[in-house]
Amino acid sequence: MDKDPQNNNERLTRQQYRQQQTTGSNDGEEEQQLSRSRADQKIEQEQLISEQKMQRLRKRLNIAIISLVVAIIIVYLILFFVK
């Protein structure tokens, strides 16, 4: 008879085979969705961390610019009043 390796002990109808294939693909899709959601969460977390770092850097740069402007004004005042 059939020596096909896929026909182990019982033969499946087309409907049973399709159901088996769809349930197998659904499991794979669920795993892909979970891995996608985990990847999305990781990307969101990295974006939040990078935004926080950018905010800290902006504050530090603003402080540095303001302190340099104040230092330049002080130097000009010292040079103007000291002769």
pLDDT, one tens digit per residue, over 28-37 is 666 666 677 8
Lookup result for tokens 């002990």: 9
Q: Give CA–CA dist 69/47, Å, rounded.
A: 33
Task: Please compute Rg for the chain using Cα positions.
Answer: 34
The residue type at 16: Q
Q: What is the pLDDT of residues 49-79, one digit of tens each?
A: 999 999 999 999 999 999 999 999 999 999 9
How much is the mean pLDDT over the chain? Answer: 81
**Could you tell me the maximum CA-CA distance found in the chain, to the nearest angstrom?**
114
DSSP 21: H
- Phi, psi (rounded to 5 degrees) for 63: -65, -40
